[in-house]
Amino acid sequence: MEAGAGAAVGDEMLNDPAEAAAFELLHQALEAAPGLKEMLAVDEPVAVIVEVPGSAWVAPVARIWGGLVWPNRTEDDNGDAIRRSFGWEPLETSSWVAYRRDGTQTHHTPNCGNEGVSAALGAGCSVVGFSPSPERYLPQDLIRVADAHVTLPQINAEALARSVSALTGHLPSAGLPDRLHRLITLEDLRLAWRPDRNSDVYVARLRRLLERKERVSPLALDQMHGMEEAVAWGTALARDLEDYRRGRLPWSAVDHGVLLFGPPGTGKTTFARALAGTCGVPLICGSLYQWQAAGHLGDLLKAMRATFNEARAMAPSILFIDEIDSFGVRAAFKHEYRDYSIQVVNALLEELDGVRGREGAVVVGACNTADRMDPAILRSGRLDRTIHVPRPGKEALAEILRHHLGGDLPDVDLAAAALLALGSTGADCERWVRGARRRARHGSRAMTGDDLLEEIRGTRHARSTEEAYRYAIHEAGHALVLAVERPGALVIASIRETSDSQGGVVSDGRLRGPVTRKEIAGELRMMLAGRAAEEVVFGDVSAGAGGSEDSDLARATALAVSALHAYGLDDGEDGLLWRGMPTPDALAAMLAVRPDLGKRITVILATAYAEAKDLIVRHRPGLDAVAQLLVERETVGGKEIEALVSSAQA
């Protein structure tokens, strides 16, 4: 079993870098266990488990095994093809059977293929199982009967040098830094290979590949603004990972994962990059859509496991899974692809906490709403921390704008821009700064604060005085109810036109109390107050409260249905019956087939609407004052609105 320069398997020289590395790893494992070598040399059937570093190693290690360990024996068809548990007869020249299981096929489970184990051994053939996770993928009977368990290590300096020698005929004059060996994958070994067969050039090329992979994000958590809870968690994680890396803290004491949820554009992906930068570890990214692009179910599962394997190999590391809510909730699957979708979610759960574990790999999931997550994903040991990433406040927006501006506008006070931007996201800030620079560049002049303000205001159609006033009355209605009934909750009111709205109000949801009937009624009054204000002032209403599933009427209807269907706030005989949270796509159909429910919801909404109108009539001076200020400034802060309403009633 000599290896190195000129190493071959049988009569064939090794030309594949992956097989050359597999040869050396197997050689090392066998040399380290003399008793194992002696057992395998005996001409009697044995059962062996070969645990490989990752899924991609299954095929090359299985190909090398026969030529290195049993060069005079012939392999039969794979064990998964045997369909009887006894009385099976091998080919005349066969003496061993292989199970190659990387987890990409549905039958790669402990309950499948067991008949082949007893059939092969009973016919006098040895059985070898190759897998990155034997307990998880190989037949359970092979695990039970195994005479030996061979574990191949990650490729090390010696194995790399000898495999390069086997390929080129020369040992490289210099190896890789120790820190890079843990990053090597089978794909890296093949990507670095060229026909020139120059050992030093090959190692240099491999080093460049690995150093690119190793690069840590230049972002840091101290550059992230408006997400204080997430930054605090990330800062603590960075300290724990450093202690773990130095051996001062066990992996069990480190947070294994977190779910970040919040509106699009609030910086969840950027946070993952900054977290990796602060921790000084690699960032690996994946998503269901990325893995689905690999092909059918088997390809998807293989791609997902490859991503997790990469994170394990590069540990400590951060694995970021974007739009993780797209996996769905297994209990809600009703479509024809239900079995497919359940297998995908189950595979994710296995990767999050499977038999192999994921020591050193912290998983960060991101989504817009946490209520679309399968509860099992959020259990302890998986993504057991849930952190809301809100839209940034005024101070945070000023910091974000300053970050993106870099050295531009150093003497400009960004308070006005931040106020105008309230309700927007960090992604919006980046876009506005880019646009402001473009304005200045196309005008062949230096950028000014007005360029930034114009970008924030955006491209607007010319509003008539009547239009602007109606929008102001509508948003003032929402703001008035918040100012009167939930002091301190209103953040801003705005009639600034965006691509998808004519304005809106932003409130601090943390100031809400327990979800009671009283709290629901107050929320409904706030949602319906915009329409109510229009009716009080103009004597009629516009369509501004309706439209999409995010409209005032849609949200109010969904909340009222939830109160009866899911929150247990129904006084009727079904008050203790939970029917589930209504989804936007099912809400209309639910009300259509339940006219009795529709009538009750109509009464609830009508009551809240009447109460909102009454409140607006009683605080009409405050409504007019807020509307007039919105017309003048477009965006007004919550504290200023509360003071205005209070003084108007005095």
Per DSSP, helices labelled H in 373-425 are 394-405, 415-421
Here the CATH number for the domain that contains residue 499 is 1.20.58.760
Of 108-112, 221-225, 304-308, 454-458, where does mean pLDDT reach its minimum?
Answer: 454-458
Q: Greatest CA separation found in the chain? A: 103
pTM: 0.67
Instruction: Give the full edge-to-edge strand order of the sheet including 386-388.
Output: 283-287, 317-322, 361-367, 257-261, 386-388
Overall number of domains in the chain: 4
Here the CATH number for the domain that contains residue 235 is 3.40.50.300
Catalytic residue among 75, 475, 497, 611: 475
Here the CATH number for the domain that contains residue 427 is 1.10.8.60
Q: What is the pLDDT of residue 464?
A: 85
Residues contacting residue 565 through CB under 8 Å, at least 6 positions apart: 578, 579, 580, 581, 582
199 in the same domain as 225: no
Q: What is the 3-state secondary structure (H, E, C) of 477-504?
A: HHHHHHHHHCCCCEEEEECCCCCCCCCE
d(CA 352, CA 345): 11
Mean per-residue pLDDT over the chain, rounded? 87
Instruction: Give SS3 for 193.
Output: coil
Instruction: Give SS3 for 262.
Output: coil
Work out whether strand 126-131 and strand 47-51 pair parallel, antiparallel, or are unpaired.
parallel
User: Residue 421 sits in which domain range?
Assistant: 394-457
Structure tokens of 216?
């840590």
Average pLDDT in the 12-22 region? 81
Q: Identify any residues that bridge with 365 across adjacent strands, giving them in sequence order.
A: 259, 321
Work out the pLDDT band at 1, boundaries 50, 70, 90: very low
Q: What is the pLDDT of residue 650?
A: 66
Average pLDDT in the 530-541 region? 95
Work out the pLDDT band at 354, boundaries 50, 70, 90: low
- The distance in angstroms from the start CA to the end CA of the chain is 96
Work out the pLDDT band at 10, boundaries 50, 70, 90: very low
479 in the same domain as 560: yes
Q: How many CA atoms lie within 13 A of 286 on its CB side?
A: 24
d(CA 367, CA 288): 12
Work out whether strand 94-100 and strand 283-287 pair parallel, antiparallel, or are unpaired.
unpaired
Q: What is the DSSP letter of 61?
A: H
d(CA 252, CA 248): 12
Q: Is 5 exposed, middle or buried (0-12, 13-18, 19+ CB in 10 A)?
A: middle
188 in the same domain as 40: yes
413 in the same domain as 349: no
Structure tokens of 466?
């009547």
Q: What is the pLDDT of residue 129?
A: 96
C-beta neighbour count of 277 within 10 angstroms: 19
Say if residue 499's pLDDT is above 60: no
Query: Last residue of a domain, which of 212, 247, 279?
Result: 212
Query: Last residue of a domain, which of 327, 354, 388?
Result: 388
Per-residue CA distances from 370 to 289, 323, 326, 386, 450 (Å): 18, 11, 11, 8, 39
Whole-number percent of the chain with pLDDT over 90: 49
d(CA 240, CA 528): 48
Q: What is the pLDDT of residue 420?
A: 81
Of 60-69, 435-444, 573-582, where does mean pLDDT reach its minimum?
Answer: 573-582
The closest alpha carbon to 324, from 378, 367, 377, belongs to: 367
151 in the same domain as 27: yes
Q: How many CA atoms lie within 13 A of 370 on its CB side?
A: 18
587 in the same domain as 475: yes
Per-residue CA distances from 568 to 299, 557, 580, 595 (Å): 44, 16, 11, 20
419 in the same domain as 331: no
508 in the same domain as 633: yes
Structure tokens of 535?
């009716």
Chain centroid to CA 242:
23
Query: Last residue of a domain, which of 372, 388, 404?
Result: 388
Instruction: Give SS3 for 131.
Output: strand
Structure tokens of 545?
């409260």
47: left (phi over 0), alpha (psi -120 to 50) or beta: beta
pLDDT tens, residue by residue, 89-136: 776 666 899 999 987 787 888 999 999 999 999 988 999 999 988 998
515 in the same domain as 547: yes
> Which contacts (CB < 8 Å, 24+ apart) does range 350-354 have?
350/136, 351/304, 351/305, 351/308, 352/257, 352/377, 352/381, 352/382, 352/383, 353/381, 353/382, 354/133, 354/136
Structure tokens of 128?
């070898």
257 close to 324: Cβ distance less than 8 angstroms:
no
Residues contacting residue 241 through CB under 8 Å, at least 6 positions apart: 254, 279, 281, 316, 362
Chain centroid to CA 176:
32
Per-residue CA distances from 427 to 1, 401, 424, 513 (Å): 59, 10, 8, 31
pLDDT tens, residue by residue, 232-279: 999 999 999 999 988 899 998 999 999 999 888 889 999 999 999 999
444 in the same domain as 531: no
279 close to 233: Cβ distance less than 8 angstroms:
no
Judge whether 475 counts as a catalytic residue: yes
Work out whether strand 94-100 and strand 12-13 pair parallel, antiparallel, or are unpaired.
unpaired
Q: What is the DSSP letter of 506?
A: E
Token pair 């190493």: residue: 7
d(CA 61, CA 130): 8
Query: In sequence order, what E strands does 331-451 have?
Result: 361-367, 386-388
Token pair 């890396």: residue: 245
Structure tokens of 92?
């005349």
Q: What is the pLDDT of residue 430?
A: 92
d(CA 442, CA 432): 15
pLDDT tens, residue by residue, 613-639: 999 999 999 999 999 999 988 888 889
Q: What is the 3-state secondary structure (H, E, C) of 385-399?
A: CEEECCCCCHHHHHH
C-beta neighbour count of 648 within 10 angstroms: 16
Q: Which of 352-361, 414-423, 496-505 has the highest mean pLDDT?
A: 414-423
Work out the pLDDT band at 461, boundaries 50, 70, 90: low
The per-residue b/e assignment along 168-205, b for 16 or more CB within 10 angstroms, e otherwise, is: beeebeebbeeebbbbbbbebbeebbeeeeebeebbeb
189 in the same domain as 240: no
C-beta neighbour count of 485 within 10 angstroms: 15
Per-residue CA distances from 211 to 100, 131, 182, 216, 518 (Å): 32, 28, 12, 10, 59
555 vs 337: which has the higher pLDDT: 555
128 in the same domain as 47: yes
